[in-house]
Amino acid sequence: MILFRYSAFIIFTVLTSLQNQLSAQKLSFEGGLILGINGVDFSGEKEEFWQDDYERSGILGLSAGPFVKCNLTPQNFVVLEMRYMMKGSELGYINQYFTQSFERIRLNYIEIPILYGTTSILHGHSGDIPFAFETGISYSRLFSSNIYIDDRVSREFPTSLYGFRNYDISWIGQLNIPYIEGKNYKLLLGIRIERSILSIHEDFRLYNFDYGFELKYIFRNLL
């Protein structure tokens, strides 16, 4: 029901904006591939979840997948992605031998973001810099998860994967700038932020928080 409401809101917003703008416009489509490297972590009640002081958090995650971009006008567009997304977090603590140990959780999702974007130009002394800003929501389905605990130096009450929901609904914001551009392709550099809208855990107010860089390779003028 919640996913339906958010999806309906995005569709209604896009259709409303198109009604007066696109009657005489010809749509064009582009597609491509995304590869991202992210810092991933939990936010919210993470100390309560780990049941420990949070001495270290955040791990590296990967994301990759295809996307399709529909150019609505010369400045506005909609993007539909389907990507693999690794999320999770890490607890660092001092074990009984007074050395650093970790508990690490990885959550692997298939994610479907729907984004609305606009392009503009930043004017500066060294020249004009074109950029594109995209924002929207995503629905992610958890397909695997794992936890790393060093049994030799584990805490008295280590954490578990019990209670994690099998979905994640997130807000996304990202900024892209052209890096290399040819006749039939473009390579963009981007920064991306994503945070859960709803808690990903049944017992704690726990949210995925991801941030990082990505490369976006675009095949131009598909249709």
With a pLDDT cut of 90, the percent of the chain lying above it is 54
- Mean pLDDT for 122-138 is 86
The pTM (predicted TM-score) of the whole model is: 0.82
Q: Which of 157 and 4 is assigned the larger pLDDT?
A: 157
Model confidence at 9, in pLDDT bands (50, 70, 90)? low
**221 or 177, which is more confident:** 177
Cβ–Cβ < 8 Å for 189, 176? yes
Judge whether 26 lies within some domain: no
125 within domain boundaries:
yes
Query: DSSP H helical segments within the chain, as ranges?
Result: 2-19, 46-50
Residue 14 has pLDDT above 60, yes or no: no
18 vs 161 pLDDT, higher one:
161
In the predicted structure, residue 23 carries a pLDDT above the cut 70: no
The residue segments making up the domain with residue 181 are 36-219
Instruction: From residue 14, give the alpha-carbon distance in Å to each of 30, 137, 174, 176.
Output: 18, 13, 18, 21
Domain count, the chain: 1
How large is the average pLDDT for residues 5-30? 58
Residue 54 is part of a domain; what is its CATH number? 2.40.160.20
Mean pLDDT of 98-125: 89
Residue 57 in any domain: the answer is yes
- Evaluate whether residue 185 is within a structural domain: yes
pLDDT band at 4, cuts 50/70/90? very low
Distances 221 to 101, 104, 184, 209, 216 between C-alpha atoms, Å: 51, 43, 7, 34, 16
Q: What is the mean pLDDT of residues 27-46?
A: 91
Judged against a pLDDT cut of 80, whether residue 35 lies above it is answered with yes
Q: What is the Cα–Cα distance from 142 to 55, expressed in whole angstroms?
A: 27
Residue 99: predicted pLDDT: 78
- Identify the band that residue 157 occupies on the pLDDT scale cut at 50, 70 and 90: confident
Distances (CA, A) of 122 to 126, 133, 216: 11, 12, 20
Say what the pLDDT of residue 3 is.
45
Q: How far is CA 99 from CA 92, 95, 96, 104, in A?
A: 10, 6, 8, 16
Q: Which residue has the tokens 């790393």?
A: 148
Confidence of residue 54 (pLDDT cuts 50, 70, 90): low
